[in-house]
């Protein structure tokens, strides 16, 4: 009698989709191999709906070649407690109905901890992708999500050496930790080829603002600590405007940030604000940029691989390897530091980074190998 292995892969917010895509594709590609060993491999995608706007969600499924989710929980927005609770209640029904053999969660959003906790309480093993990353700032909701998810996960898939050190320092047994590389880079390298061979093309808006061979910067700014407080946002915006006087800046605006810009009556004259864009558009814009200014996590990694200087507008980073050997500058939120670092880049004096170990486009294959071997060896 053939044995069925059921894997549920969870995504909820925009950063998750780029991470689940290579894992999903890699697992599906293993179905033939599994069948030869007498195993029926089932892979399902659950979209919690934490990001529910089409510009923050649906476009990524199209860009990344993902099928429609097998389950869409449609939890929507709310406070951290409300959103986490809704995900847990909805995902519990999925786990009870599907009885998966393992649940794969990625990153550090509310859906990550909610689905991990629900699975663990129902006795289902949890695999956490991007385990061990730490900002050491417990004021960040993401840091809380990361630490709690790692504490209860059975498979901890790590992107960089700091993750191993952090997990070991927290008492996680070595046997649960796997250094696999970075699935975000799997997605980047796969889609970079698609852009370069012309099989996908960027939108008119991105081509207009990011002409080939021109100098421009890309901005993302959405972290609550930066944009949800007037006293924090206004000095940052003034610094960005000062940079924009030296180089054109394209800014795909997160909906919450756009509302804050309007609320604070900020002058956007020097900056090209556009609607949120999909993965292909963002990759096209970033790969040709002179620099990126950001407060996100993933762009710190992507710019390091692309060799693009990245100015991170945060006081800490959970991805230290991008600063230590990559192209990332952790400048904090001091306006003068932001401007002076940008001017250094514009003068051609930016550092030359190197690509971290195992950021080679094969992280998802390593993850699939480990998960399948676990069931084959049972």
**In this structure, what CATH number is given to the domain that contains residue 294?**
3.40.50.2000
Give the burial string for 64-92 (b: 16+ CB within 10 Å, else e): bebeebebebebeeeeeeebbebbbebbb
Which of 29-38, 99-108, 147-156, 172-181 is predicted least confidently? Answer: 29-38
Greatest mean pLDDT among 189-193, 255-259, 349-353 lies in 189-193
pLDDT, greater one: 75 or 242: 242
My answer on whether 19 and 101 are in the same domain is yes
My answer on whether 15 and 80 are in the same domain is yes
My answer on whether 85 and 146 are in the same domain is yes
My answer on whether 342 and 363 are in the same domain is no
Closest CA relative to residue 220, chosen from 303, 326, 292:
292
Averaged over 236-240, what is the pLDDT?
A: 97
Per-residue pLDDT band for 53 (boundaries 50, 70, 90) equals low
Residue 245 has pLDDT above 60, yes or no: yes
Averaged over 28-42, what is the pLDDT?
A: 91
Residue 2 has pLDDT above 80, yes or no: no
My answer on whether 206 and 326 are in the same domain is yes
Residue 56 has pLDDT above 60, yes or no: no
My answer on whether 13 and 153 are in the same domain is yes
Rounded Cα distance, 128 and 257, in Å: 29
DSSP state of 303: H
The answer to whether position 354 is within a domain reads no
Q: What is the pTM of this model?
A: 0.94
Q: Which of 51, 209, 222, 254 is catalytic?
A: 222
pLDDT the model gives residue 1: 53
Residue 185 has pLDDT above 80, yes or no: yes
My answer on whether 178 and 99 are in the same domain is yes
The answer to whether position 9 is within a domain reads yes
Averaged over 120-145, what is the pLDDT?
A: 97
For residues 323 and 142, the answer to whether their CB atoms sit within 8 Å is: no
| E strand or H helix at 343 | helix 335-346
My answer on whether 30 and 165 are in the same domain is yes
Rounded Cα distance, 87 and 102, in Å: 18
Question: Which residues have CB under 8 Å from 354's CB, separation 6+?
Answer: 325, 326
Averaged over 341-368, what is the pLDDT?
A: 96
Per-residue pLDDT band for 291 (boundaries 50, 70, 90) equals very high
pLDDT the model gives residue 61: 83
Closest CA relative to residue 63, chosen from 193, 200, 206, 196:
200
Average pLDDT, the chain: 94
- Domains in the chain, number: 2
The answer to whether position 147 is within a domain reads yes
The answer to whether position 318 is within a domain reads yes
Rounded Cα distance, 124 and 288, in Å: 43
The answer to whether position 193 is within a domain reads no
pLDDT, greater one: 259 or 78: 259
For residues 99 and 6, the answer to whether their CB atoms sit within 8 Å is: yes
State the residue range of the domain holding 76: 3-182+359-376
Greatest mean pLDDT among 137-141, 254-258, 339-343 lies in 339-343
My answer on whether 174 and 214 are in the same domain is no
222 as an active site residue: the answer is yes
pLDDT the model gives residue 376: 74
The answer to whether position 82 is within a domain reads yes
Rounded Cα distance, 77 and 49, in Å: 9
My answer on whether 151 and 212 are in the same domain is no
Query: What percent of the chain stands above pLDDT 90?
Result: 85
Question: From the centroid of its chain, how far is CA 88?
Answer: 21
Plot region of 339 (φ>0 → left; ψ -120 to 50 → alpha; else → beta): alpha
3-state secondary structure of 316: coil
My answer on whether 327 and 301 are in the same domain is yes
Per-residue pLDDT band for 370 (boundaries 50, 70, 90) equals very high
Averaged over 284-295, what is the pLDDT?
A: 97
What tokens does 283 get?
Answer: 């990759």
My answer on whether 287 and 364 are in the same domain is no
Residue 251 has pLDDT above 70, yes or no: yes
For residues 271 and 219, the answer to whether their CB atoms sit within 8 Å is: yes
The β-bridge partners of 41 are 5
The answer to whether position 189 is within a domain reads no
């Amino acid at each position: 009698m053939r044995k069925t292995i059921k894997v549920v892969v969870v995504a909820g917010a925009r950063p998750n989709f780029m991470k689940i895509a290579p894992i999903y594709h890699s697992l599906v590609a293993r179905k033939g191999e599994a069948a030869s060993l007498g195993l029926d491999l089932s892979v399902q995608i659950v979209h919690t709906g934490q990001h529910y706007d089409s510009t923050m969600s649906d476009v990524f499924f199209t860009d990344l070649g993902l099928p429609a989710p097998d389950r869409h929980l449609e939890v929507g927005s709310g406070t951290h407690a409300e959103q986490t609770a809704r995900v847990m209640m909805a995902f519990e029904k999925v786990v009870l109905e599907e009885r998966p053999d393992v649940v794969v969660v990625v990153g550090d959003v509310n859906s990550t901890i909610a689905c991990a906790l629900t699975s663990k309480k129902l006795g289902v093993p949890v695999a956490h992708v991007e385990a061990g990353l730490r900002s050491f700032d417990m004021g960040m909701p993401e840091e809380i999500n990361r630490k709690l998810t790692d504490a209860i996960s059975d498979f901890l898939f790590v992107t960089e050496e700091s993750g191993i050190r952090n997990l070991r320092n927290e008492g996680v047994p070595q046997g649960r930790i796997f250094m696999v590389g970075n699935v975000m880079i799997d997605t980047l390298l796969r889609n970079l080829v698609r852009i370069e061979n012309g099989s996908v093309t960027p939108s008119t808006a991105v081509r207009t603002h990011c002409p080939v061979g021109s100098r421009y910067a890309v901005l993302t700014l959405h972290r609550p600590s930066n944009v949800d407080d007037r006293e924090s946002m206004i000095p940052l915006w003034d610094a960005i405007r000062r940079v924009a006087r030296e180089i054109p800046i394209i800014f795909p605006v997160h909906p919450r940030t756009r509302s804050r810009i309007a609320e604070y009556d900020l002058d956007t004259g020097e900056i090209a604000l556009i609607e949120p864009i999909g993965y292909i558009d963002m990759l096209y814009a970033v790969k040709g940029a002179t620099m990126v200014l950001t407060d996100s996590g993933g762009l710190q990694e992507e710019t390091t691989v692309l060799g693009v200087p990245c100015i991170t507008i945060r006081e800490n980073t959970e991805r230290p390897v991008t600063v230590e050997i990559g192209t990332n500058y952790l400048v904090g939120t001091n306006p003068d530091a932001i401007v002076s670092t940008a001017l250094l880049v514009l003068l051609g004096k930016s550092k030359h980074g190197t690509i971290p170990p195992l950021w080679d486009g094969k992280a998802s294959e390593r993850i699939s190998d480990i998960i399948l071997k676990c069931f084959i060896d049972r």
